[in-house]
Amino acid sequence: MIVCFDIGGTAIKGALAFSPDDIRPLPRLPTPTQDFAAFVSALQSVIDQADEKPDCVAISICGIIDPDTQNTVVANIPCIHGRPLKQDLETALGLPVLIANDADCFVLAEAGLGAARGHRVVFGIILGTGVGGGLVIDGSLINADGGFAGEWGHGPIAATLAGNPPAAIPRFACGCGQAGCIDATCSARGLERLHQHLHGEARTSESIVERWTEGDSAASRTIDVFVDIIAAPLALTVNLTGATIIPVAGGLSNATGLVASIDQAVRRRILRQFQRPLVVPAECRIEPGLMGAALLGLKTSARPAQ
């Protein structure tokens, strides 16, 4: 048995996991963001609900483990930002601790329990407030020791001409400090920026997608440009990784027609030809971070001692 957590800036979600088919969520707790002792106490209160000593604690966090320092980069939880969190929690809790990025945990969940079951190489993507991703090979994270693999949303690679006929697209500034990132152009906010740029009209991403499905010409033009921009780097990622399935999560994934359009555009651009959908809606729609953390902990605890 392991205890798993999905920790965000607002809430801590915990569960006891006995097997991939037996994950028992517990009531949520508010995240103590400023006080590390209170943060540890919140985790301990969940661990104390187990009837036996857990084999380990597995955590999904809304941040990154720096692979060089092993310090966490979690801007919205200051009390753990910059800490060697694994080491500090193992000392405080007296248990082995595993930590992974929440996008990575989402891909683990899809590979083990969702749309990517049976696939060796899985590249999962998030299209929501931001653009993220993760890579799982043979059931294991490529980011086993932390790191930035799978972060295809960042880097100055977004097209400056896109759509049919081609439209000039500015290199939108990104929160990472660069300009021209897929995150800045193809997230939900990026979709809104594209629409504003193309038509001088402020609309929410939900409204743009809804109007597109209704046949609105302006929204259709925006989606045409959006799909053209996002498909090229995603196709390159498929060629680089050999992924045979790409589950999609995040708010934009709720638009199944949009996911299907991205799938068709990506499959036209890749070397390997698939006669089935490659880019598909994620199946683990409820608590994928918690489910992924559970799978991470269960797999690790099942390994023979060295």
Tens digits of residue pLDDT in 37-70: 999 999 999 999 999 999 999 999 988 899 999 8
Q: Indicate whether 107 belongs to any domain.
A: no
- Same domain? For 294 and 276 the reply is no
State yes or no: pLDDT of 304 exceeds 60.
no
Residue 70, both tokens = 């092993």
The pLDDT, as a whole number, for residue 96 is 95
Summarize pLDDT for 190-234 with one digit per residue, the tens: 999 999 999 999 999 999 999 999 999 999 999 999 999 999 999
CATH number at residue 248: 3.30.420.40
Residue 93 is part of which domain span? 2-101+286-302
Taking the C-alpha atoms of residue 111 and residue 114, their distance in angstroms, rounded to an integer, is 6
The pLDDT, as a whole number, for residue 114 is 96
Summarize pLDDT for 97-147 with one digit per residue, the tens: 999 999 999 999 999 999 999 999 999 999 998 999 999 999 999 988 888
Indicate the pLDDT class of residue 285, thresholds 50, 70 and 90.
confident
- Residue spans of alpha helices (H) in the chain: 36-47, 85-93, 102-113, 182-186, 188-199, 205-213, 217-241, 256-267, 288-302
- Same domain? For 179 and 201 the reply is yes
Q: Name the residue with higher pLDDT: 145 or 153.
A: 153
The pLDDT, as a whole number, for residue 253 is 95
Taking the C-alpha atoms of residue 194 and residue 184, their distance in angstroms, rounded to an integer, is 10
The pLDDT, as a whole number, for residue 303 is 65
- Same domain? For 59 and 197 the reply is no
Taking the C-alpha atoms of residue 95 and residue 89, their distance in angstroms, rounded to an integer, is 8
- Same domain? For 263 and 291 the reply is no
Taking the C-alpha atoms of residue 262 and residue 278, their distance in angstroms, rounded to an integer, is 10
State yes or no: pLDDT of 280 exceeds 90.
yes
The contacts of residue 80 (CB under 8 Å, 6+ apart) are: 36, 39, 61, 72, 74
Task: Please provide the average confidence, as pLDDT, over all residues in the chain.
Answer: 94
- Same domain? For 148 and 272 the reply is yes
Residue 166, both tokens = 């081609």
- Same domain? For 231 and 164 the reply is yes
Q: Indicate whether 108 belongs to any domain.
A: no
Taking the C-alpha atoms of residue 243 and residue 278, their distance in angstroms, rounded to an integer, is 9
Whole-model pTM: value is 0.91
Task: Answer for the pair 57, 43: CB distance below 8 angstroms, yes or no.
Answer: yes
- Number of structural domains found in the chain: 2
- Same domain? For 193 and 215 the reply is yes
Q: Indicate whether 106 belongs to any domain.
A: no
Taking the C-alpha atoms of residue 226 and residue 48, their distance in angstroms, rounded to an integer, is 48
Q: Indicate whether 172 belongs to any domain.
A: yes
CA atoms within a 13 Å half-sphere pointing along the CA-CB vector of 243: 30
Taking the C-alpha atoms of residue 25 and residue 219, their distance in angstroms, rounded to an integer, is 40
74 Rama sector, left if φ>0, alpha if ψ -120 to 50, beta otherwise:
beta
Average pLDDT over residues 30-42: 96
Average pLDDT over residues 262-291: 95
- Same domain? For 290 and 277 the reply is no
The pLDDT, as a whole number, for residue 6 is 96
State yes or no: pLDDT of 306 exceeds 80.
no
Q: Indicate whether 112 belongs to any domain.
A: no
- Same domain? For 203 and 122 the reply is yes
- Same domain? For 265 and 128 the reply is yes
State yes or no: pLDDT of 90 exceeds 60.
yes
- CA-nearest of 76, 75, 89, 187 to 130 is 187
Q: In what order do the strands lie in the sheet with 279-281?
A: 140-141, 131-137, 121-127, 246-249, 279-281
Q: How many residues does this entry show for the chain?
A: 306
- CA-nearest of 108, 169, 160, 176 to 138 is 108
State yes or no: pLDDT of 301 exceeds 80.
no
State yes or no: pLDDT of 157 exceeds 70.
yes
- Same domain? For 95 and 121 the reply is no
Q: Indicate whether 24 belongs to any domain.
A: yes
Average pLDDT over residues 65-91: 93
Q: Indicate whether 111 belongs to any domain.
A: no
- Same domain? For 270 and 295 the reply is no
The pLDDT, as a whole number, for residue 106 is 95
Q: Indicate whether 33 belongs to any domain.
A: yes
Task: Answer for the pair 295, 20: CB distance below 8 angstroms, yes or no.
Answer: yes
The pLDDT, as a whole number, for residue 231 is 98
